Structure 1
């Protein structure tokens, strides 16, 4: 009797699996974008500079204030352990680069209250902004299709994305990449 039930369940599972595969294949045919509608290379940087986000204290700041500088843009969250682990190194990098044309900024993906509370506890020597869940959308524009954190974007002073990094930064690699700017 148990073998008969097993065979029935296996048949039903295969049937539903086949139907799911069929629906996935037939409904996921996206039309290619016409060339005029395709996003430009500078699209994410322009979207970044178009943002006005509150800082950890709640005061709105225009991100366009960083135009003309090379930037290390770090998408992070207080609940993300690798994000928090790399913050002291990002702070040290900001202090090291203070005389150069490089700016580190953090874009927090959490509530204003959580980020403000975190910023009170942890000393951060670079500006931190609150993007909420909209920060995930902004990071996706920079190529973070997985939506993983931390996600860091290196932008040249010319406004071009030079490199992106998913996961905890390897600072020797970041410094080498900064040296090529």
Structure 2
């Protein structure tokens, strides 16, 4: 039994590692094609972002929180999982970035694609300077609505105060690029 579980976890880890390598080779892409009109981009982004703000998710301590509390504020939403090595690797940098930005207008949140128990245990072990929520497997659907066509992790979405998706990032974040993107907002 233990050996069978070990093989399953090893296969998942290898798949996630391969996805992380593949994704790190990709550059961040805009949320919608540049050729599309502003009205089209607004309509496309309003639906998924509105769906995000309608969510009520439990935090790492099991307390249900409304994501609408972040509406009207620039937001960096990071979809991650405890079993995803690139996700876990970028979390200290995301925490440092949130600390650097203390008092600024935007916020980082994490949505874990994992079980409540795993996320609670992870949040207890690690010092994460931004709110972490339990998305469970429905978090994958939410990430797809926000532009994650392949369902890969980590997946990060930059949302403006206007509720528009400004940029999406698949794979481990390149923090120099992210800082430049945040500075341009």
Q: TM-score range by the shorter chain?
A: 0.7 to 0.9
Question: 1:151 corresponds to which residue?
Answer: 155
Task: Report the secondary structure of 1:144's partner residue.
Answer: coil
**Deviation (angstroms), 1:98:** 1.5
**Deviation (angstroms), 1:143:** 1.1
CA RMSD of aligned residues (A): 0.8
Unaligned runs of 5+ in 2: 1-42
Q: Distance in 1 between matches of 2:82 and 2:53?
A: 23
Mapping of residues 1-181 of structure 1, within 5 Å: 40-181=44-185
Q: Which has the higher contact order (CA 8 A, sep 6+)?
A: 2
Q: Distance in 2 between matches of 1:160 and 1:97?
A: 21
> For this pair of structures, how many residues does the alignment match?
143
Task: Report the secondary structure of 2:77's partner residue.
Answer: strand
Q: Distance in 2 between matches of 1:83 and 1:135?
A: 15
Unaligned runs of 5+ in 1: 1-38
User: Normalising to structure 1: TM-score of the pair?
Assistant: 0.78
Higher Rg = 1
**Deviation (angstroms), 1:99:** 1.2
Q: Distance in 2 between matches of 1:41 and 1:80?
A: 27
Task: Report the secondary structure of 1:125's partner residue.
Answer: coil
